[in-house]
Amino acid sequence: MDLIACIKQIVKERGVEEIAKPTFWGLLCDYGAFEEESNEAAIKHILKLWLGNGKMEKIIRMSANDSQWKIDVSDIIHQTETEGFKKEVVSYLLHQLLLGIGFVDSAFDWNKEFMPKKTISVTQSTKQQKIDDNWDKTQRQQQREKKETEKVAKRAKLRQEKSRNEVLLKTALEKKKDGFWLEDDEERVYQEYLERKETISKVFWGITIGMAALLLVSVIVYCYCRIVDSGNELTWGTLSLVSIVVGTITSIIAGILDDDTNVGEVFIGITLLMAIIFIVSLVVICYGWIVGSGHKAIWNLLSLISLCTAIPSYILGLVFDD
C-alpha cells in the first residue's frame, strides 16, 4: 500500500488519535508505507520530528470549519523547513497525512494554496540576469587577480630562493677552498652545484666522443673517396675539420668542468690527436709529391691547423698538468 492507503487503514482500525501516538511510525513501517516514496529517509525523519514536538497532535486537532487550519498548515510547513528540511517534501508529507485522515480530498488544490509558484516579471528577470552576469564577471576577475597574485608571489619567492642559493654557494666555495666544514644548507647547495657541473660535463664529453667518431668515419670515407676518385673528398674533408674543431673545444670545456679529469691531460690528449692529424697530412702530401698525383688543398689546411693547435695545447698541458 502507498502512504495514503496505509494512513487510511490505521485510522479505520485504530482511530485518528493513533496518528499522534509514537506507535504510528512503527505501524507505517509494518505496512510498508515508505517503500514507494522517493524521499523515504526525509519523510521518516520529519514524521519522527512531528511525533516528538507535538505537531502530529496539532494536525489531528485542526478543524475544517474555519480558515485557521490553513494558517496552522503554513506554520507547520515553515517551522519544519527551518529545521533543515525541503519545503516541497514537508508540504507533500503533510498533504498525504491530511488526505489519509480525510481532512482534505483530492479536489482541494493543495499546491495552489501552500506551494504557490513565484511569478517573476520580465523586468525583474532582466535585472536578476544583469546581477548574475555582474556577479559572474566579478568572480572571474577576482579569480584572475588571485592567480596573477599567486604567480607574482611565486616568481618573487623563486628569485629570493635563487639569490639565497647564490650567496650560500659563494660561501660554500670559499669554505671549501679554505678547508672549513659546511652548514647543512651550504652543503645542499654545494652538492647541487657539483651535480649540475657533472651533468654539463657529461654532455660535453658526449659531444666530444661523437666528434671523435665523426672524425674517424670522415677520415676513412675520405681515404676511400681518394682511392676510387669519387669526387666527394672535399665534403668529407670538411666534416673531419669541423669534427676536430668542435671536439677540441668541447673536450676542453668538459675537462674544465669535470673535477675528476686532469685538465692538463686533456690538453696533452688534444696535442697527441693533432700530432696524428699532422703526420697523416704530411704523409698524404708527400705521397702526392712522390707519385706525382698531387694532393687536395685541404691537407695543407689540416696540417697547418693541427700544427697551430698542437703547439699551444702542449704548452697548456704542461701548465695544467700537476
Q: What is the pLDDT of residues 171-188, one digit of tens each?
A: 888 888 888 888 888 888
Q: Which residues contact 156 (CB under 8 A, 6 or more apart)?
A: none
Buried b / exposed e along 106-116 (16+ C-beta atoms within 10 A): eeeebeeebee
pLDDT at 296 over 80: no
pLDDT at 44 over 60: yes
pLDDT at 125 over 70: no
pLDDT at 119 over 60: no
- For the question of whether the overall pTM of this predicted structure is more than 0.75, the answer is no
* 127 vs 89 pLDDT, higher one: 89
Q: What is the predicted pLDDT for the residue at 46?
A: 92
Average pLDDT, the chain: 83
Percent of the chain with pLDDT over 70: 92
State how far the Cα of 270 lies from the Cα of 175, in Å rounded to an integer. 34
What's 16's DSSP letter? G
Q: Which residues contact 48 (CB under 8 A, 6 or more apart)?
A: 25
- pLDDT (tens digit per residue) in 48-70: 999 898 888 888 888 877 788 88
pLDDT at 120 over 50: no
Highest-confidence segment of 45-54, 112-121, 231-240, 269-278: 45-54
Q: What is the predicted pLDDT for the residue at 294?
A: 64
CA angle 41, 42, 47 (to 5 degrees): 100
Residue with cell 651550504: 186
How far apart are the two ends of the chain, measured CA to CA in Å?
103
pLDDT-wise least confident of 65-74, 84-93, 124-133: 124-133
pLDDT, average across residues 293-316: 77
pLDDT at 121 over 60: no
pLDDT at 261 over 80: no
pLDDT at 304 over 70: yes
Q: What's the Rg (C-alpha) of the chain?
A: 48
State how far the Cα of 297 lies from the Cα of 210, in Å rounded to an integer. 26
Q: What is the predicted pLDDT for the residue at 76?
A: 92
pLDDT band at 279 (very low <50, low <70, confident <90, very high): confident
Q: What is the predicted pLDDT for the residue at 247?
A: 83
Q: What is the predicted pLDDT for the residue at 181?
A: 86
CB atoms within 10 A of CB 94: 20
Q: Is 286 exposed, middle or buried (0-12, 13-18, 19+ CB in 10 A)?
A: exposed
pLDDT band at 260 (very low <50, low <70, confident <90, very high): low
pLDDT-wise least confident of 124-138, 266-280, 305-319: 124-138
